[in-house]
Chains A and B, each alone.
Chain A
């Protein structure tokens, strides 16, 4: 617990620093591009468009899922994923790419993954508003279910922080890990119900896939936007998600604190 609290404390005492650097990163990321920050929306829009064309029109033949049009169903799951995936990949690489820069000054290395997450989160929060607009256009009213959005956001950030903290340490020490992670993330996109409905799979197989915490988040966000379920309706799964997150956080903070003085040696 001591390790976890130490890492968490570093986040909260440096909250200001994290936000400033994250904003700075967003600004500088698209600085060399003519379209600038506009890419932040163009990128997800292109991806949503392509997946909707292939999976919605192509494979499903434009059929809705239940009462919900496929487009809305897709967007409700894909938008969180478009935040999760780059956050994990960039967050895991963040220590490796920046440790050179920050090791020459007194700087808490544990905030590096957080900065990446937060810089991606600006875009995500605006995309949430876009989802709201889409729901409005399609006359879908999630009603009271929207109240659980803060809960899922908390879960999302807790999971992303824990996971990137762990991965950033490992991938700094073992560079191969970053490659593994990239392939796994590419796989994960198809092994979570982002692009396709898993209703036709056997129950046991779905349960195996459910062991992935990202599954919980995607389904959770979708049920929030479409107003289908509360998070406390499936307490077992909620309990599983949080214990998995805590477990990752514990291992991640132990490894991080153990190796962070030596990161430079492993470059």
Chain B
């Protein structure tokens, strides 16, 4: 017979920490500076197929630690455990979810054991019947009595087809009828050649089930052999121990526990084997961190990255240009074929409508391929759009034809019925202008001297580069813009009211507004208004003076 379970020099020790942080220290520095307690010391034994092994021992002798080791719940500190088969541990309420009902626990445990849906459906009534919980099967497990829990746990574990069954005190809570049922099941297992470990304090139970009995005594195997023989010895020990006086009992226990605390000091000698994998692991981590840092720093250089891409594009253009020179004779065919390649279906749509520029400064290009810049258009400049070629607009401008990007221009003029008047904007004018806005407007198209005579409190007079002049009335929040002839061309009202909601109705009057809605242009009946909400200003121009760029 081949051994089903083989323990070789297995020890399990628990480090006793005085502080929680000591646990971390040990983990990272792998230093044993704490006291350790040897729950099991140097266990070696073999168990064969179809055997039932009883495990006895007084409290604190390490029975539960052994059962956990057998079920592979916890790893041994040193030594090797060989197992041929899947172990299953049955302890009181082992692995039941308290919030789920009994039925759901059955389903979940079976799922975790990897059973198929059909198998679970078949097993559920069998388990239900075996556990014999009755209507409580639909109640959450937290409401169960300890007997119910043990029965359910046992029923599930037994039916999930384990090779090695570890029963830890689970039967002691059941009554005689349940015990009888378990015995039948256990005997069935024995016939199937399965191995059972049975831990109990009940020597009579032990005697009837076990083939061999292992006596664990303070972390060591005191004896391991035929059931009746060991039970006899164990009984003898118990009787001897009970006959001791209280002081003697304590002294005996203390002595034994001290032996466990010292324990043999074995060091694992697996370091050499691990070194090689450690180096390759270190290399992988190193490589990936280099990659990570590389990409991370590239991210920061991304602004340069895009300019590099632009540079590349320019380079490409130059190459194309030189190519054109080189193959002057074929240039036309090359160009046309390239255009086709870039713009697969160039749709030309005749627009023939006025439009407005909707970005602050946009570039106007000489040709359709957008290389040579001829002019810069300002926000709300009026243009006349002739054609739309994909995303490009062909635009007439001062008897000149230029091309601009489609997104920068809005097609269509204003609706004359909504033509705004200066009083429409009273709600947003600053206090100083609110009441007297008409008075300030009368100084549009007026001479410099007239303005200075009529309006006091001139705070600043700025001469601009192009010979134009600004008259700043700081207290009134008004600035007049004079042209080179000294006539006021437009006026800017500053410090508009900041209340956002007031602008929403104004925005509806806008002939054109920028993409972020912060700059918009209102074409009025007799004045034009250019609002800039970032600066909180409005620039008012008289209609007559409007330097219209449209030639129609």
Q: Spell out A's residues near B (CB within 8 Å).
A: 1-3, 17, 20-21, 24, 28, 31-32, 61, 63-64, 66-67, 100-107, 173-174, 203-204, 207, 210-211, 234, 236-237, 239-240, 243-244, 246-247, 250-251, 254, 261-262, 264-266
The reply to whether B111 and A20 contact each other, CB–CB distance below 8 Å, is yes
Q: Which residue of chain B lies nearest to A20 when distances are taken between CB atoms in the complex?
A: B111
CA distance A68 to B53 in the complex (A): 73
0/1 string, B3-36, CB within 8 A of A gives 1:
0000000000000000000011001000000000
Question: In the complex the two chains form, is B295's CB within 8 Å of A240's CB?
Answer: yes
| A24-B108, A107-B112, A240-B299 known; A251 vs B285 contact (CB < 8 Å) | yes
Task: List chain B positions with a Cβ less than 8 A from chain A.
Answer: 23-24, 27, 71-75, 86, 88-89, 94-95, 97, 99-100, 104, 107-109, 111-114, 117, 160, 277, 281, 284-285, 288-289, 291-292, 294-296, 298-300, 302-303, 305, 500-501, 515-517
Q: If the complex has contacts A61-B501, A240-B292, are A104 and B515 also in contact, measured as CB distance less than 8 A? A: no
* Cβ-defined partner of B292 (8 Å) among A32, A244, A254: A244
Contact of B295 among A24, A105, A203, A243 (CB under 8 A): A243
Shortest CB distance A130–B (Å): 28
Can you list 25 A-B pairs, Cβ within 8 angstroms, ordered by A?
Answer: A3-B281, A17-B111, A17-B112, A20-B111, A21-B112, A28-B104, A28-B108, A101-B95, A102-B112, A104-B73, A105-B95, A174-B24, A207-B299, A207-B302, A236-B295, A236-B302, A239-B291, A239-B298, A240-B296, A240-B299, A243-B291, A244-B295, A246-B291, A247-B285, A250-B284
Specify which chain A residues have a CB less than 8 angstroms from the CB of B112 in the assembled complex: 17, 21, 101-102, 105, 107
B75's contact among A61, A100, A104, A262, by CB below 8 Å, is which?
Answer: A262
Q: Say whether, besides A21-B111, A254-B281, A265-B74, A247 and B88 are in contact (CB < 8 Å).
A: no
Q: Give the distance to chain B from A99, nearest Cβ to Cβ, in Å.
A: 10
Query: Chain A contacts of B71 at CB under 8 A?
Result: 104
Interface of A is mostly: helix
Complex Cα spacing A63 to B533, Å:
14
Within the assembled complex, what's the spacing in Å between the Cα atoms of A261 and B109? 21
Given A63-B517, A204-B300, A236-B298: A250 in contact with B285 (beta carbons within 8 A): yes
Q: Which of chain B's residues has its CB closest to A64's CB?
A: B517
In the complex, A72 Cα to B144 Cα: how many Å? 50
Smallest beta-carbon distance A4→chain B, Å = 9
**What residues of B have a CB within 8 angstroms of the CB of A2 in the complex?**
277
B residues within 8 A CB of A105?
86, 88, 95, 109, 112-113, 160
Q: Which residue of A lies closest to B305 (CB)?
A: A236
Add 8 more A-B contacts to A1-B284, A246-B288 (CB < 8 A): A3-B281, A20-B111, A31-B100, A102-B112, A104-B88, A105-B88, A105-B113, A266-B23
Closest residue to B515 on the A side, CB-wise?
A66
Q: For residue B27, which residues in chain A have a CB less than 8 angstroms away from its CB? A: 173
Instruction: Determine if A17 and B108 form an interchain contact, defined as CB atoms under 8 angstroms apart.
Output: no
> Which residues does chain A contribute within 8 Å of B300, judged by CB atoms?
204, 207
Which of B27, B111, B112 has the most chain A CB within a 10 Å cutoff?
Answer: B112
A67 touches B295 (CB 8 A): no
Task: Name A236's closest neighbour in chain B (CB-CB).
Answer: B298
Contact of A247 among B277, B288, B302 (CB under 8 A): B288
- Closest A residue by C-beta to B501: A61
Please determine whether B303 and A104 come into contact, CB atoms closer than 8 angstroms: no
Q: Which residues of A contact B296 (CB under 8 A)?
A: 211, 240
Smallest beta-carbon distance B124→chain A, Å: 14
3 nearest A-B residue pairs (beta carbon):
A240-B295, A243-B291, A247-B288
**Inter-chain contact B107/A24, CB cutoff 8 Å:** yes
Cβ–Cβ contact B288 & A104, under 8 A: no
CB distance from B255 to the nearest CB of A (A): 28
Cβ–Cβ < 8 Å partners of A64 in chain B: 517
A246 to B296, CA, bound (A): 14
> A264–B73 contact, CB under 8 A?
yes
Contacts of A67 in B (CB 8 A): 515
Residues of B within 8 A of A24 (CB): 107-108, 111
User: Which A residues lie within 8 Å of B302 (CB)?
Assistant: 207, 234, 236-237
Least CB distance from B90 to A in Å reads: 9
- Chain B neighbourhood of A102, CB < 8 A: 95, 112
Instruction: Give complex CA distance A236, B300 in Å.
Output: 10
Q: Which residue of A lies closest to B290 (CB)?
A: A243
Residue of A nearest to B285 (CB): A250
Collect the chain B residues with CB atoms within 8 Å of residue A3's CB.
281
Residues from chain B with a CB closer than 8 A to the CB of A203 are: 303
CA distance A103 to B285 in the complex (A): 30
Flag if B95 contacts A100 (CB, 8 Å). yes
| Chain A residues closer than 8 Å to B100, beta-carbon distance | 28, 31
Residue of chain A at shortest CB distance from B289: A247
- Give A196 Cβ to nearest chain B Cβ, in Å: 15
Q: How far is the CB of B197 from chain A (nearest CB, A)?
A: 14
A249 and B72 CA atoms in complex are apart in Å by: 27
CB < 8 Å: which of A17, A20, A100, A210 contacts B299?
A210
Report A197 CB to chain B, min CB distance, Å.
Answer: 10
Is B89 within 8 A of A104, CB to CB? yes
- Residues from chain A with Cβ under 8 Å of B294 in the complex: 243
Chain B neighbourhood of A240, CB < 8 A: 292, 295-296, 298-299
Complex Cα spacing A213 to B295, Å: 12
Q: Report A-chain residues with C-beta under 8 Å of the C-beta of B516.
A: 66
- Complex CA gap A234/B295 in Å reads 11
Shortest CB-to-CB span from A191 to chain B, Å, is: 16
Complex Cα–Cα for A210 and B515 (A): 25
Question: B73 and A236: CB pair below 8 A?
Answer: no
User: What chain B residues lie within 8 Å of A210 (beta carbons)?
Assistant: 299
- Judge whether A264 and B295 touch: CB under 8 Å: no
Which of B23, B288, B294, B517 gathers most chain A CB within 10 Å? B288
Task: Determine the distance from Cα of A262 to Cα of B73 in the docked complex, in whole angstroms.
Answer: 9
CA A240 to CA B94, docked complex, whole Å: 45
CB neighbours of A262 from chain B (8 A): 75
Most buried by B among A66, A105, A243: A105
Chain A residue at minimal CB-CB distance from B73: A103
CB closest residue in chain A, given B516: A66
A124 to B: closest C-beta gap in Å: 22
**Chain B minimum-CB-distance residue to A32:** B99
Q: Which residues of B are found within 8 Å of A236, using beta-carbon distances?
A: 295, 298-299, 302, 305
* B500 and A61 within 8 A (CB): yes
| C-alpha gap A103/B99 in the complex (Å) | 19
**B107 surroundings in chain A (CB, below 8 A):** 24
A106 to B291, CA, bound (A): 37
Q: For A21, A28, A203, A251, which residue has the most chain B Cβ atoms within 10 angstroms?
A: A28
Tell me how far the C-beta of A247 lies from the nearest C-beta in chain B, rounded to whole angstroms. Answer: 4
CA of A265 to CA of B27 in the docked complex: distance in angstroms? 12
Alpha-carbon separation in the docked complex, A21 to B27 (Å): 32
A101 touches B299 (CB 8 A): no
| Chain B residues, Cβ within 8 Å of A66 | 515-516
Complex CA gap A244/B288 in Å reads: 8
Residue from A104, A173, A204, A207 in contact with B95 in the complex, judged by beta carbons closer than 8 Å: A104
Least CB distance from B16 to A in Å reads 13
Expressed in whole angstroms, the Cα–Cα distance for A61 and B71 within the complex equals 63
**Complex formed: what's the CA distance from A210 to B298 in Å?**
12
| Chain A residues in 8 Å Cβ range of B295 | 236-237, 239-240, 243-244
Taking the closest CB of chain B, its distance from the CB of A173, in whole angstroms, is: 7
Q: Which residues on the A side are within 8 Å of B104 (C-beta)? A: 28, 31
Q: Give chain B residues whose Cβ lies under 8 Å from the Cβ of A63.
A: 517
